[in-house]
Structure 1
């Protein structure tokens, strides 16, 4: 089975000792393509170096994470835009809204998201959204920007069925990761009602490792664990889920 990992921070320092080995494990597990979201100005160099070292496997995005939005966010977004103008990227992201960690700069987060939604349309790229405890305000901004050309992923989706249906109605995919394997993750009440055409797979490594590795460092080689959980919850064979989610990611990201 061929799989596309749509969200992996493989350039993260947690992989500094075994990054090449982690890549080999991923490929051995059937993960042939890895999409890497940017976080802020400090993550760009490491991300692009990894992409340059493994151009057939690793593909970079460009964006500003909501948890990196602060007093200098406008300057940071100028750098994002400069990079988007300079060379191709797989997507704008990751960006969005986060009310879990700190709401101090929430108004700035919303402004940053608006700007990045506009950039996604300008460069005709999908956008990858982080919406932790902030689905409703994020969806409202997406709806406001949607002109029929905006597309992307609600990354690390862990909300309810109503939110899933709203995301799909906005023309977006649901990024399904390790939360699907959690006993109280809630996706067991959502995924049985969602068609495979609306899903892509991700790990969000090094975070949110699936069971049985929960609490440990996550990596792309664990993506088949997510695949099999999605298969169990949707009633499809793993091969069907692999084919559908790979097809969805290819069409969305052009990889």
Structure 2
């Protein structure tokens, strides 16, 4: 049986705060609407994140990805608290049960999508780290060609010697500066990866909690559905018995009418015989 059928059969039973099944608890509606708004904003954030992950790697792109990941992670944690609050509602109507199930399922699906985006961000960062390391290893050292010693009668001038020393020092420092810069970028990206992985771990806990809620809701709905099916079957059986009893009564009345007619005919014949005798 579908949940819509189940809802229609259960309409009028239960109620938030002891109210009628035909009216929702306003506070429940506000909490549910707030959660729906958060899910909408989460979907918008994840759409922006997908766009950024498809762009060329630049410092600005990395910054936007990092900000979106952090912001979305916080929004998911807030949405998770909202869902837990919604699940603690007592004496909910069938409509409210459906709302709880729908929002739980949507949050679970959104978490799955965000975890996939987090993994894409991690893979992207790791790929960029590998490229940076390969570039650092393969970069040739700065050439010192064009630097010549001038021998003036076998004696170096003091000024030329100082310039040569300075140029040689710079020729050694330049490639080292490049290496240090690449190492700094690599360390920065490794820190970003660790931060994303930490976020994945935090949301894994929330995902497990939401999955448990969805699973429990499914079991509850199966139990309710089974009960409704049993009632429906019993009702059909009772209807069949009533119809059968009605047929028996109708047949009995028909037989009784036939017997009365036969008795009336016999009685009429007897009377006529006596009168004519």
Q: How high is the TM-score relative to the length of structure 2?
A: 0.20
The structure carrying a bigger helix percent of its residues is 2
The structure carrying a bigger strand percent of its residues is 1
Q: How high is the TM-score relative to the length of structure 1?
A: 0.21
